[in-house]
Structure 1
Amino acid sequence: MAANWEDLKPRLLSSVWMAAIGIGAIIMGGVWFQMLAVFVTAVMVWECWIMIRGASPTSGMLLAAAVASILSAQVFGGSQAPEFLFLFLVVPVIGALVLNRERITFFVFALALQIAGWGLVHFRIDYGFTWLIWLVGIVVMTDVAGYFAGKSLGGPKFWPAISPKKTWSGTIGGWIGAALVGFIFTLFTNAGLSIILLSVVISFAGQMGDIAESALKRRQGVKDSSTLIPGHGGLFDRFDALLGASLFMLLVASIFNVPGVAF
């Protein structure tokens, strides 16, 4: 039984430091959160590049620098014009032209990563820090609750061909944890009960972000996105679910009116 929980400590430590850094930067807002979003996004595009291309640090770093430059210009420039989003095509197109394989894969992931990173900053500026604390809380709770439910209950695998460790019990446990986060927010904000259902859907979107990154790693035959964090892999390994949640929340915000949530 002890061996079954041997990854508990690093898993919890990973969730705690991610939540601490993320929530701290969200609360501070302004340039602190913007710089964090730009840095993390650029590094994850670099990790995506090296997973596909292999050891190619120079070209990968150039792409990461391009991502940082483009995202910084939009984030710090405060542009609200929709046409600026086409700038996010620059790095995916260049990367796809340079690569001799997995061109579409890199294009899709590089574009999605940039939009998701920009989306996190967009939410902080337009809707306030409460929405982002809620978003991070859902991702962390989904991970923690899913881990304990999956380890304790086991059962059928969710998607064994892509992520052999994930179970349906862990997946559903994550949804329950997310619903709890949503319920807590109804007690202290004016969000309303609909946020509970939205929390569960966001939880699933985050899980799909994790699945997407697992599929990429499995396709490329690598265990981790990089070795930047000893014992924990790379930034993409830690933030994949948050990016999936961010992309879905961007879709929701583009279709529905997302009100500011006050404590």
Structure 2
Amino acid sequence: MTTSKSSNWDDLTVRIMSSVAMTIIGAAGIIMGGVWFQMLAVFVTAVMVWELWMMICGDEPTKGMLLAALVASVLSGQIADGTLLGLLLFFVVPVIGVTQLKNERVTFFVFALGIQIAGWGLVHFRMDYGFVWLLWLMLVVIITDVFGYFAGRSFGGPKFWPKISPKKTWSGTIAGWIGAALVGFVFTLFTNAGPWIIVISMVLSFAGQMGDIAESALKRRMGVKDSSTLIPGHGGLFDRFDALLGAALFMLLVATVFNVPGVAF
């Protein structure tokens, strides 16, 4: 007899194998940096916009692929340019998408714009702050997800936001914050960040969780389980990187508002 407890872990093997593959590819891109990380970021960003389109208008895949190709072109150009005027080009894809949609125009506009800005932000975070701090950002997001997954499956308890994301629990959410704090603490041991990095890590963890919640709300609104079926055990790239989008947008906001200088180490 299969218990509901054991069914909680049915997808663990597939999730781990997919996670290992994504970690290897992502780690290689982050370590090499430069054009390699740029190509990876452009690819992931373009695919996520395609997934967004398919969730909203799945019966017109060709338009989604053309928009994804345009995203890749625009983002590649923006990485090379980077001026404030050039950033206005990020509105091109959302505006074109809006003109082609009959429904959910605001939804597409907001998410398509956010995805592109986050992708651009990650590339510049790697260039301006270097490998160490991009690694920190990624580890906070990953550990938040890992701690949240195991705590939520092990302890369960009250739901964090049942109407939006019925699987997320307060135990998993808080465990994610604790995991992020541990990442921050580890980074105090070999960087000059100081204790503040622990608090920032926890806030970054929450921003990532809100990115996850936002995508969950989108899927619930569209009536789909996953953004696509590209990654076994994880759904689509949007499902896997939604938290990273939230974290990247938060760090971009912090760096812009507080004019944090680049350190690149």
* TM, length-normalised to structure 2: 0.94
- 8 Å Cα contact 1:14/1:238 also seen in 2: no
Runs of 4+ displaced beyond 4 Å: 259-263
Amino acid at match of 1:24: A
The residue that corresponds to 2:133 in the other structure is: 131
The residue that corresponds to 2:37 in the other structure is: 33
- 8 Å Cα contact 1:51/1:225 also seen in 2: yes
Amino acid at match of 1:4: N
Task: Please list, as runs of the form range in 1=range in 2, the aligned pairs for 1:188-199 lying within 5 A after superposition.
Answer: 188-199=190-201
In the TM superposition, residue 3 of structure 1 has moved relative to its aligned partner by: 2.0
SS in 2 for 1:6: coil
The residue that corresponds to 1:50 in the other structure is: 54
Bigger mean CA deviation after superposition, 10-19 or 183-192: 10-19
1:74 correspondence with 2:78: yes
**Corresponding residue to 1:19 among 5, 9, 23:** 23
Can you list the C-alpha shifts for 1:52-92, whole angstroms capped at 9, x where unaligned? 011312111110011000001111x2x23211111000000
Amino acid at match of 1:60: G
In the TM superposition, residue 99 of structure 1 has moved relative to its aligned partner by: 0.2
- 8 Å Cα contact 1:226/1:234 also seen in 2: yes
1:3 correspondence with 2:4: no
- 8 Å Cα contact 1:189/1:262 also seen in 2: no
In the TM superposition, residue 260 of structure 1 has moved relative to its aligned partner by: 4.7
- 8 Å Cα contact 1:225/1:235 also seen in 2: yes
1:229 correspondence with 2:231: yes
SS in 2 for 1:2: helix
Quick one: distance in 1 between partners of 2:264 and 2:76? 28
The residue that corresponds to 1:84 in the other structure is: 86
Can you list the C-alpha shifts for 1:150-177, whole angstroms capped at 9, x where unaligned? 1222111000001100000100000000
- 8 Å Cα contact 1:19/1:140 also seen in 2: no
Q: Give the total of aligned pairs.
A: 261
SS in 2 for 1:165: strand
Quick one: distance in 2 between partners of 1:4 and 1:115? 35
In the TM superposition, residue 4 of structure 1 has moved relative to its aligned partner by: 2.5
Bigger mean CA deviation after superposition, 93-102 or 3-12: 3-12
In the TM superposition, residue 8 of structure 1 has moved relative to its aligned partner by: 2.4
Quick one: distance in 2 between partners of 1:252 and 1:197? 14
Bigger mean CA deviation after superposition, 229-238 or 87-96: 229-238
Quick one: distance in 1 between partners of 2:189 and 2:252? 25
Amino acid at match of 2:33: G
In the TM superposition, residue 186 of structure 1 has moved relative to its aligned partner by: 0.5
Quick one: distance in 2 between partners of 1:208 and 1:18? 22
Quick one: distance in 2 between partners of 1:209 and 1:249? 13
